């Protein structure tokens, strides 16, 4: 049923297979088998596009209710089973976010010693897979297009100003603030958007609201490459202001001189309709301390 739901939502067997971490052949076989069991054609397939048939739309509505009810039942059983050890898995996209939450995690463990916390740094494109497998899994990151609103809920934990970061040897490093005009003349460093196209598009739109449109943007494959370019090639980048507490003192964090500052929300993502008591307690603790 989950394979069918993925195919119905992506309307592309290749993308659905990637989402489910199976081959396209396996996805096609699974859908064909389901159509045989149902006794109806669920998809109209053509060279131009694929779409649900009337039977497929009805089946999708019913199946999603069944899967959602099943997941919710599992969550509630797990949540009330006091005989098992409570665990919370927290996923972060980078070590920076994990460092930011370290004092919160320590405070939470002091308050709830019976709960075991597992912290893991994962590729955000894999968050959905981990969340769907465990009700007590929480992904903490920026707004992510790789997490489906049909499969996850989220809550804003806090928001940070988006600042400009540069090396201390940069000609503008002694400024208190930096203007959009100054930013646009600089070489702007950014992580490659190939894995996060939606996040990159949202950031570009945020920049445009304050007049930021860098003439030259250089993409880097890793954070190490990006920070190296900032230090040694005088490139600049934008990051949430909390990074100033984490990056070495060879970098300078500078607010953007604008009346409409860019705010970057830090969100907590969890399984759809599965706000367990453990997740709720941790989010409340985080919101009170940040």
**Angle subtended at Cα 175 by Cα 173 and Cα 176, rounded to the nearest 5 degrees:** 120
pLDDT tens by residue, 76-133: 665 555 445 578 999 998 887 888 899 999 999 999 998 999 999 888 878 888 888 7
- What six digits make up the tokens of 42? 């669920």
Query: In which band, very low, low, confident or very high, does the pLDDT at 58 lie, cut at 50, 70 and 90?
Result: very high
pLDDT of 83: 42
On whether the CB atoms of residues 269 and 151 are closer than 8 A, the answer is no
Domains, the chain, ranges and CATH?
A: 2-79 (1.10.10.10), 82-155+266-289 (3.40.190.10), 159-264 (3.40.190.290)
Query: Considering just the CA atoms, what is the radius of gyration of the chain in Å?
Result: 22
pLDDT of 234: 94
pLDDT tens by residue, 149-181: 888 999 999 988 899 999 999 999 999 999 999
pLDDT of 189: 93
Helices (H), 134-175: none
Distances (CA, A) of 226 to 100, 237, 247: 20, 9, 12
Instruction: Identify which of 282, 290, 200 has the alpha carbon closest to the alpha carbon of residue 238.
Output: 200
Element spanning 205, H or E: helix 197-209
Element spanning 43, H or E: strand 43-45
Minimum mean pLDDT among 52-56, 77-81, 180-184: which range? 77-81
| Residue of higher predicted confidence among 183 and 10 | 183
Distances (CA, A) of 148 to 14, 111, 198: 17, 32, 12
- Work out the percent of the chain whose per-residue pLDDT is above 90: 39
Q: How far is CA 36 from the centre of its chain?
A: 37
């Amino acid at each position: 049923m989950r394979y069918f739901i993925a195919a119905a939502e992506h309307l592309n067997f290749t993308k659905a297979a990637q989402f489910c971490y199976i081959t396209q052949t396996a996805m096609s076989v699974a859908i064909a088998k389901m159509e045989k069991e149902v006794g109806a054609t669920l998809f109209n397939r053509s060279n131009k596009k694929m779409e649900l048939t009337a039977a497929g739309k009805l089946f999708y509505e019913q199946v999603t209710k069944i899967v959602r009810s099943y997941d919710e039942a599992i969550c509630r059983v797990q949540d009330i089973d006091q005989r098992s050890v409570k665990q919370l898995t927290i996923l972060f996209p980078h070590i920076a976010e994990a460092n930011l939450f370290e004092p919160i995690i320590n405070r939470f463990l002091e308050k709830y010693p019976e709960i075991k916390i597992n912290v893991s740094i994962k590729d955000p494109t894999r968050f959905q897979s981990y969340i769907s497998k465990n009700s007590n899994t929480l992904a903490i990151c920026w707004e992510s297009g790789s997490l489906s609103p049909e499969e996850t809920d989220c809550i804003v934990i806090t928001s940070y100003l988006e600042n400009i970061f540069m090396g201390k040897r940069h000609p503008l490093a002694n400024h208190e603030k930096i203007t959009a005009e100054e930013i646009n003349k600089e070489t702007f460093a950014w992580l490659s958007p190939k894995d996060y196209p939606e996040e990159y598009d949202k950031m570009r739109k945020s920049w445009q609201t304050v007049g930021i449109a860098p003439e030259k943007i250089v993409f880097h494959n890793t954070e190490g490459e990006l920070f190296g370019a900032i230090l040694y090639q005088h490139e600049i980048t934008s990051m949430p202001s909390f990074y100033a507490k984490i990056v070495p003192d060879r970098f300078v964090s500078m607010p953007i001189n604008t009346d409409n500052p860019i705010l970057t929300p830090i969100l907590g993502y969890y399984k759809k309709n599965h706000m367990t008591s453990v997740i709720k307690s941790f989010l409340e603790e985080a919101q009170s301390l940040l």
